[in-house]
Structure 1
Amino acid sequence: MSAAVALPVSDALAPPFAGDAGVEAGGEDAPGHKNLLLLVQLRWIAVGGQLVTLGIVGAGLRVALPIGPMAGVLLGLVLVNAGSLIRLSRPSPVARAELALAMLLDIGALTLQLGLTGGATNPFTFLYLLQVTLAAVLLDGAATWAVVAVTALCFCALTRAYLPLDLSGLPGADLFALHIAGMLICFLLDAALLVVFVTRVTRNLRARDARLAALRQRAAEEDGIVRMGLLASGAAHLLGTPLSTLSVILGDWRRMPALTGDPELMGELDVLEAEVRRCKAILTGILVSAGEARGESAAATTLHTFLDELVAEWRGAHPAAQLHYDDAVAEDPAIVSDTALKQVIVNLLDNAFEVSPDWLRLRVGLESGLLRLSVEDRGPGFAAEILADVGTPYRSTKGRQGGGLGLFLVFNVVRKLGGRVSVGNAPGGGAAVEMTLPLSALAVAAREPAGPAHAGRDGADG
C-alpha cells in the first residue's frame, strides 16, 4: 500500500496591516501569493511522505512496487513546485483559477500513485475526501463541485484501471489486518491535516475579515475628514463677512473724536483689531488646509526653519506657556512645508497646554531616516478607556461636545505620510504623543503638490 498525498490549500486570505500600520500587502495579491506558497510547502510534505512510505512498504514489508513510475510522479510534483516558485517571484495577483488548477494537479498526482498501488483497494483513497473538504472551504461553489466531480471520476477510474499490488513477499500475512491498519493510518492522516490546515484557513479568513473591517473604518474616517473639511471651509467663508464688517467698524471708531481722546479706549481698540486680524489669519489657514488651495500651501523649506517658525508662532499665541523645545537633529534637510502638517503639531501642543500650562515639551530626533517628534506634558495623562481606542473621533476626556477630533486628525495625517503615532502615559505622570515619519516622505523631490508633509527639529530651549 502506498500513501500518495498532494495536499492543496488554496484561497486562504492574508492577515491585515500591523500597527500599523502595516500594513499592507504592497502591490501584490497577498492572499493568493500566500496560498500558493502554502501549496508549495504542502507539496514538499507530500513528496517527503511518499518517499518515507516507499521505503517502509517496499524495503520494510518487502512489497514489490513500481518504483520507476512512482518516482516519475514524485518528479512531476517537484517540477510543479519549481513552476510555482517561479510564479511566486512575479508581483501579479494569483487568480483563483490558478489555485484551483493546482488542486487538480494534486488530485491527478494522487490518482496516479493510487493507480500504481492497487487502485480503489488502496486504503489511502480516502485522501480524496481531504481534497474535497479543502475545496469546499477555499473555492467558490462552481469550482468546488468541479473538484467533487473530478475526484468521483478518478475514484471510479481506479476501480477499472490499476496495477494490483504484488503481495507475494508477504506469505501468510493477514491482508485484511494490513488493510485495516492502512485505513487507520489514512484516517489519522486525514484528521490531522484537516485540523491543521482548516484551522489555518479559518484564522486567515478571520484576519481577512478584520482587514476589510479596518479598511471600511478607514474609509469612513476619511469620509468624515472630507465632511469636516467642507464644513470648516463653509464656516470660514461665512465668518469672513462679519469679520470684515467688524474690521470696518473698528476703523470708523478709531477716527471718532469721542474715542480718540480716550487713551484707555484706544488701547482696547488696538487689542480688538489685533484679535480680528488673528481671526482672519485663522480662517485663511482653514481655507488653505481644507479647500482647493491645499497644494498652494505646500512650500519648500528646511526642517529647522519650519519648526523654528512654528514654535515661535505658537509661543506668540500662548505667551504664558512654558514650552521646552529640544532639538537633537544636527543636519537641516530640505522638506516641504504644509498647513496640515503644521496644524497637526499645533493640535498636539494645544492639547498639552490645556492640561499642563506650566510645563510641556516638544522633542524632535532623527534616527535611521525616521523623524521622531514627540509632545509631552505633566497633566493627568490618558485614561485607560481612551488609550484602548485612541485616535477614534469624539473620544475625549475633556467632556465637551465635538472633543476628540485633534488626535483623530493627527492619526490620519500621519498615516497618509506613511508614519505612525504612539500614545501613552509617562512613568512620572503626564501624557506623551510621538509621531514617527520617514524623512523621505518629507523630501522636496519626493512630494507631490497635493500631499501633506511633516517635519521636526530639536535644540534645547527653555
Structure 2
Amino acid sequence: MSTVSSSSALLLVHLRSVALATQAAAVLLAAGGLGMQLPLAMDGLILGALAFMNTLAWWYARRGDEPSAWVLTAQLALDIVGLTAFLYFNGGYANPFASLFLLPLAVAATVLPMRHTAGLTALVVAGYSLVMFAYRPLPHYHGSLGDSFDLHLLGMWLSLVVAALVIATFVARLAAALRAREAHLAQLREAALRSEQLAALGALAAGTAHELSTPLSTMAVLVGELRTGAGADQRADLDLLSRQIERCREVLTRNLTVTGQGRAEGGGRLGLEIWLRTLVDTWQQTRPQSRVHLSCLGPGEPPQVVVDETLRQALCSLLDNAADASAAVDLCARWDGQAVLLEVADRGAGIPSELAPRLGQPFVTGKQGGLGLGVYLARAVIERLGGRLVIAPRDGGGTLAHVSLPLAALAA
C-alpha cells in the first residue's frame, strides 16, 4: 500500500488551515463589514466540520505516522465535498472561491497515484457542475466598494492570491523533499558501491595473506640458518630482519582472523589513552625512524573504549601517511560526553591541489608507489562506526586528518 510522507501530510494541514481561515474571514467581512445577508449558520457548520477534520489530520501527522494514499484521498474528497456545500449556500459557481476546487487536484497530482487523482478529478467536476445549476444566489451589494460585480472581482483577486500561495508553497516544499530524498538515495547507492568494493578488497587481502604465508615461512627458515656462523654485526641485522618477518606474519594472521565487525580478541575494554599509546608503540616497531607526539585532552578520565581492530588499522594507515610526509607526527585525542576527536598531523608538503577533490577515492594517491587504498579504507571504517574523516591542510604547512567518532560506537 502506497503512503504519503508525514511531512507532506503536515504541510497539507497547514495549507488547508490557510484556505479555511481565508474563507471564514471573507464570510465575516461580507456579513459584518458589508452587511450582506449570508447563511452564517450553514457556513459555520461547514467550515467548522472541515476545521475539525483538519485537526484530526494534524494530530495524525504530528504522531509521525505516514497516512496511506486512501486516507489522504478521503481527506481531499471531504475538502471537495465541503467546498461544494459552501458554494451551494453562497452563490454557486459565481462565488470567487470556486477556484479553490483546483487546490485538492494540485495536491493529488503531486503525491497520489493516478487512479486516486482521477477519482478526485471526477469528484471536482461533479461538484462544480452541481453548483452551476443548483445554488442559493448571493444578495446584491451596493456600497462603498461598488456594486456586486466590483465585489466579485475583489473576491476573484483574493481567491487567486490564496490559490497561488497554497499551490506554490506545497509544490516548492514537495520539490525540496524530493531533492533531499534523491540526495539520500545517492548516498545509499554510494555506500552500497563502497561496500561492494570493500568486500572485493577483503577477498583479495585474504587470498594475498595465504599466498604470502609460504614465502614468509621460507624467509624465517633461511634467516635462522644464516644466523649460524654469522658475525655480531650480521646477527644484529638478521635479528632485525627476523622481527620484521614475524611482524608480517602477525599482521597476516590478524587480517585472516578479524571478523566483519572488527572487534579484536573478545572486544576487551581499555582506556582511550592506554589504547592509543599501545597502538603507537606497536606501530613504531615498523616505523622506528618516526617520532609520534601523543597528547590526550578532555574532562575527567579518558573514556573506556572497546578495542576495534579495523579502527586500529585505520589509524595506523593515517599514521603511515603522516610519517611518509614528515619524520615528526602529532596525534591528539580529545573527548567529551558525546564524541571522541582524533587528529593526525604532519609537517610535510601538504596535499596537491589537483589531488584534494579526489582524496579518499580508491586507487587515488599522491605517493610514489602508493596503492591509493589507505585513506579510502580508513574512511570506510570510520564511517561504519558512525564517524567522519576530514583531511585538510594544516595551518603553517602540512596535512591534518581529523577523525570524529561517536563515543557510543566506541564503547559498545
| TM-score (normalised: structure 2) | 0.89
1:82-133 Cα shifts (integer Å, max 9, x gaps): 3223323435444333333332232233222222211222132122223223
Determine if contact 2:264/2:309 at 8 Å carries over to the other structure.
Answer: no
1:237-276 Cα shifts (integer Å, max 9, x gaps): 221122223223333444xxxx515444444432332221
1:374 aligns to 2:338 (yes or no)? no
Matches within 5 A, 1:263-274: 263-274=232-243
1:311 to 276, 280, 288: 280
2:314 to 334, 338, 344: 344
Determine if contact 2:277/2:294 at 8 Å carries over to the other structure.
Answer: no
Report what 1:453 is aligned to. Answer: none
2:51 to 49, 65, 78: 78
Structure 1 residue 442: Cα displacement: 1.9
Q: 1:317 is paired with a residue of what secondary structure?
A: coil
1:415 aligns to 2:383 (yes or no)? yes
1:90 aligns to 2:58 (yes or no)? no
Structure 1 residue 211: Cα displacement: 1.5
Structure 1 residue 378: Cα displacement: 1.4
RMSD: 2.8
Query: C-alpha separation between the residues in 2 aligned to 1:153 and 1:433?
Result: 66
Report what 1:139 is aligned to. Answer: 112
Structure 1 residue 141: Cα displacement: 1.6
Report what 1:149 is aligned to. Answer: 122
Matches within 5 A, 1:193-208: 193-208=166-181
Structure 1 residue 323: Cα displacement: 1.3
Query: C-alpha separation between the residues in 2 aligned to 1:211 and 1:102?
Result: 29
Which 5+ residue runs of structure 2 have no aligned equivalent? Answer: none
Structure 1 residue 307: Cα displacement: 1.2
Query: C-alpha separation between the residues in 2 aligned to 1:58 and 1:293?
Result: 74
Deviates more, 1:180-189 or 1:70-79: 180-189
Determine if contact 1:233/1:290 at 8 Å carries over to the other structure.
Answer: no
Q: 2:282 is paired with a residue of what secondary structure?
A: helix
CA, structure 1 residues 303+115, in 2 after alignment: closer, same or farther (shift >3 Å)? same
Determine if contact 1:381/1:425 at 8 Å carries over to the other structure.
Answer: yes
Structure 1 residue 390: Cα displacement: 4.6
Report what 2:193 is aligned to. Answer: 220
Matches within 5 A, 1:283-294: 283-289=252-258
Q: 2:333 is paired with a residue of what secondary structure?
A: strand
1:365 aligns to 2:334 (yes or no)? yes
**Matched positions, count:** 410
- Work out which structure has the larger RCO, using CA pairs closer than 8 Å and 6 or more positions apart in sequence: 1
Report what 2:296 is aligned to. Answer: 327
Report what 1:22 is aligned to. Answer: none
Query: C-alpha separation between the residues in 2 aligned to 1:437 and 1:73?
Result: 56
1:242 aligns to 2:215 (yes or no)? yes
Query: C-alpha separation between the residues in 1 aligned to 2:89 and 2:277?
Result: 80
Matches within 5 A, 1:13-162: 32-162=5-135
1:353 to 323, 340, 365: 323
Determine if contact 2:346/2:399 at 8 Å carries over to the other structure.
Answer: yes
Query: C-alpha separation between the residues in 2 aligned to 1:78 and 1:186?
Result: 19
Deviates more, 1:187-196 or 1:430-439: 187-196
CA, structure 1 residues 133+94, in 2 after alignment: closer, same or farther (shift >3 Å)? closer
Q: Which structure shows the higher helix fraction? A: 2
CA, structure 1 residues 397+72, in 2 after alignment: closer, same or farther (shift >3 Å)? farther
Structure 1 residue 293: Cα displacement: 8.0
Q: 1:376 is paired with a residue of what secondary structure?
A: strand
Which 5+ residue runs of structure 1 have no aligned equivalent? Answer: 1-10, 12-28, 448-462
Query: C-alpha separation between the residues in 1 aligned to 2:261 and 2:160?
Result: 66
Structure 1 residue 396: Cα displacement: 3.2
Determine if contact 1:381/1:429 at 8 Å carries over to the other structure.
Answer: yes
1:167-204 Cα shifts (integer Å, max 9, x gaps): 36769964334334433433343334333332222222
